[in-house]
Amino acid sequence: MADKHPELKSAKLADVSIKRGAGGETHQVAEGEVASLTTRQGVPVSDDQNSLKLGRRGPTLMEDFHFREKIFHFDHERIPERVVHARGFGAHGFFETTESLADITAADIFQRAGEKTPVFVRFSTVAGNKGSSDLARDVRGFAVKFYTKEGNWDLVGNNIPVFFIQDAIKFPDLIHAAKQEPDRGFPQAQTAHDNFWDFISLMPESINMALWIMSDRTIPRSFRFMEGFGVHTFRLIDAKGKSTYVKFHWKPKLGMQSVVWNEAVKLNGADPDFHRRDMWDAIQAGDYPEWELGLQLFDDDFADKFEFDILDATKIIPEERVPIRRVGRLVLDRTVDNFFNETEQVAFQTGNIVPGIDFTNDPLLQGRNFSYLDTQLKRLGSPNFNDLPINAPKCPFHTFQQDGHMTLNNPRGRANYEPNSWGANGGPRETPKGFRSFPTEEAGDKRRTRGELFADHYSQARQFYISQSETEQTHIKDAFVFELSKVETPEIRARVVSHLINVDKTLAKLVADGLGMTLPKAAEPARKPITDLPPSPALSIIKNAPGSFKGRKLGILVSDGVDAALLTALEKAAKQQGALVELVAPTVGGFTASDGKQRPAKQKVNGGPSVLYDAVAILVSAEGAAQLQQEATARDFVADAFAHAKFIATTEDAMPLLEKAGVEPDGGVMSLGGPKDAGRFLELCSQLRFWEREPKVHAV
């Protein structure tokens, strides 16, 4: 291990207690002595980086007792909430196949265009505890349970197509490093601390993911506005047994959108349930969230020629190389009846697949298949967790499994084993239509290793960075500076920056300058990076903006005397765009418009900050502006909207409030002369943000 990570040679362990024997006696490791890593049985471990495989790219072997013990203990660390993805929110819906895929898979769900399959989807954060906030900078889980006619299929993915690690044996270490530091119990739901970045700095394979998590992808505006990915390479198997490789993508109908970091921080304070509330409100309003299912399909010939290993979960296949074939749509149209019964007790497993879909030898996927069943037993307390309604298939099912805590479906009759000679009364039998694994030929030495191409840790990180817009690149730089500024150990900061040099020297220099440190020597790459990979525009959020304000929310700050005709025109224009409107007033009891009519408000100004909205309009009367100038939260409403590059509509009467908030109008601030201007403002809002403002705001 020390050969792979020279930095660890100088590590010192002091006063570390390791339990030995049934008597609980301990061994004190003296300062300066480096303890040997062992199993819980005291067996020294020679390789803690790779699970045991058959050949360099072969499947993970069940006899790997070290991996089994490590994952087993990790899966049972927490009760009752999930170890990861603890904070989640789920909804019911359906998946509709829009074209038959009978030519590439025998999976029943993909046979008939127009057929709908029930689904349950759970979105989540990864690192935070169950009670953490929605807008943490974090990966988002995107797990879909399809209740197909041939059994349940779980596509358990994230909103980012790559992952931190290549081999599941490192998963406990990754999550231990990302979670609260064990001696102090904080920070939670954030990676801005020494342990996480220490781990990342010693795991070059994580650098591509580090670029992704420092991007705006990890602070999405809504679950409805983020992509989803199956992450791994899977197989589709047709009726004749032919295999086609596949990567799964979810594309949001409303397009992608994120918030800026300062906005995320304030959203967590204003509404820690912001994502949950957004999803709930959209479904309750009949504005059903929707995604398209896209497939990247390729064969062995492509896999052999591709610059990277298709079994490496830290890599993507750019959409420009393998276009996405859109084959269905996912619609969420019903909220849960009981959060605990459904969202908390739903059990996803990557191992839940159906005939026509199969695994590859991706070592991270192989480990996940092993781990998920184990962790469900610990959380839900019984091997019969599949009998819970949220987990039970909606098609007929027949097994000889029996007993256990809370059993509901013991086999009837005499037979509880197979084979038996009891004929028609003997229970279920094997069927030629049953699941069959794809018959790959595997050969090789039994060893702890990885494929050679797994050693390229920087090329795709560079490709991701150069694919971003200038605004997004600035956000990535700012995120690295913020997170590493929370790291107390200078050596850790230096190691992270040393990796960034291999990604992009300008980025590394900007991060180093932001940290007030000298640019270190570049980390020595295990494999020479490819520096001429072309940009992939599909990787940018801003470059793929939807060009519509549909599904977004307009916040209108009003007061007594507000122009009734203008307010009505704005509400009408927003509705035509498919957007929601919330009225924010000095009191939640409401206001009296210029036509003398009293109207209720959705939010009181100090409880409805502008971070809750995608664009704002300041329609207060002259008297209202004079009143609200004295209200700090009203000034913040305007100032934050401006600082977060949002489009702002205003009137002449409202200008004193803008001036008091320190806002100097620019191209993203539109003065409304009357109702006729309402439509033009909503068209302006379709750009979502006025990014030209952000550098100027940063400069002041």
Q: What is the pLDDT of residues 534-564, one digit of tens each?
A: 999 999 999 999 999 999 999 999 999 999 9
Q: Is 85 a catalytic residue?
A: yes
Please state the φ and ψ torsions of residue 120, each to the nearest 5 degrees. -130, 130
Angle at the Cα of 63 from the Cα atoms of 62 and 68, rounded to 5 degrees: 75
Residues 6+ apart with CB under 8 A from 344: 88
| Beta strand pairing call for 325-335 and 88-97 | antiparallel
Judged against a pLDDT cut of 50, whether residue 23 lies above it is answered with no
Binding residue numbers for heme: 82, 122, 171, 368, 372, 379
Please report which confidence band the pLDDT of residue 79 belongs to, taking 50, 70 and 90 as the band edges: low
CB contact burial 630-643 (16+ within 10 A = b; e otherwise): eeebbbbbbbbbbb
547-699 matches 52-387 in CATH topology:
no
Judged against a pLDDT cut of 90, whether residue 72 lies above it is answered with no
pTM score over 0.95: no
| Burial of residue 208, with CB atoms counted within 10 A of its CB: 0-12 exposed, 13-18 middle, 19 or more buried | buried
Residue 168: both structure tokens together: 């599941």
Please report which confidence band the pLDDT of residue 13 belongs to, taking 50, 70 and 90 as the band edges: very low
CA 97 and chain centroid, separation: 24
Rounded CA separation 381/403 (Å): 13
Binding residue numbers: 82, 122, 171, 368, 372, 379
Q: Is 76 a catalytic residue?
A: no
Rounded CA separation 691/314 (Å): 30
Please report which confidence band the pLDDT of residue 374 belongs to, taking 50, 70 and 90 as the band edges: confident
Q: What is the pLDDT of residue 697?
A: 86
Q: What is the mean pLDDT of residues 351-358?
A: 93
Q: What is the pLDDT of residue 78?
A: 63
CA 453 and chain centroid, separation: 26
125 three-state secondary structure: strand
Lowest average pLDDT, out of 383-387, 458-462, 668-672, goes to 383-387
Sign of CA dihedral 409, 414, 416, 422: negative
Rounded CA separation 515/518 (Å): 9
CA 231 and chain centroid, separation: 11
- 456-543 domain in CATH 3.40.640.10? no
Phi-psi region of 652 (alpha: psi -120 to 50; beta: other; left: phi over 0): alpha
CA 627 and chain centroid, separation: 43
Lowest average pLDDT, out of 354-368, 399-413, 484-498, 595-609, goes to 399-413
- Each residue's pLDDT tens digit, 274-305: 999 999 999 999 999 999 999 999 999 999 99
Q: What is the pLDDT of residue 8?
A: 37
Residues 6+ apart with CB under 8 A from 148: 107, 108, 109, 117, 354, 395
Query: Where is pLDDT greater, at 418 or 360?
Result: 360
Contact in structure between 406 and 384 (CB atoms under 8 Å): yes
Judged against a pLDDT cut of 60, whether residue 10 lies above it is answered with no
Rounded CA separation 690/112 (Å): 44
Please report which confidence band the pLDDT of residue 123 belongs to, taking 50, 70 and 90 as the band edges: very high
Lowest average pLDDT, out of 194-203, 329-338, 405-414, 543-552, goes to 405-414
End-to-end alpha-carbon separation of the chain, Å?
A: 48
Angle between the N-to-C axes of helices 470-485 and 261-270, in degrees from 0 to 180, rounded to the nearest 10: 60
Q: What is the pLDDT of residue 7?
A: 39
Measure the CA dihedral 82/146/313/140, to 10°: -50
Question: Which range among 243-257, 345-359, 375-389, 441-455 has the greatest average pLDDT?
Answer: 243-257
Lowest average pLDDT, out of 350-354, 414-418, 498-502, 660-664, goes to 414-418
Question: Per residue, what are the HEC states of 315-355?
Answer: CCCCCCCCCCEEEEEEEEEEECCCHHHHHHCCCCCCCCCCC
Residue boundaries of the structural domains of the chain: 52-387, 456-543, 547-699
Please give the share of the chain, as a percent, with pLDDT higher than 90. Answer: 79
Quote the mean pLDDT of the chain: 92
Pick the CATH number of 547-699 from 3.50.30.50, 3.40.50.880, 3.90.120.10, 3.90.100.10: 3.40.50.880
Rounded CA separation 605/601 (Å): 10
Rounded CA separation 66/74 (Å): 12
Judged against a pLDDT cut of 70, whether residue 11 lies above it is answered with no
Q: What is the pLDDT of residue 17?
A: 41
Contact in structure between 686 and 554 (CB atoms under 8 Å): no
CATH class of segment(s) 52-387: mainly beta
Rounded CA separation 211/473 (Å): 10
55 three-state secondary structure: coil
Question: Which listed residue (50, 66, 152, 158) is catalytic?
Answer: 158
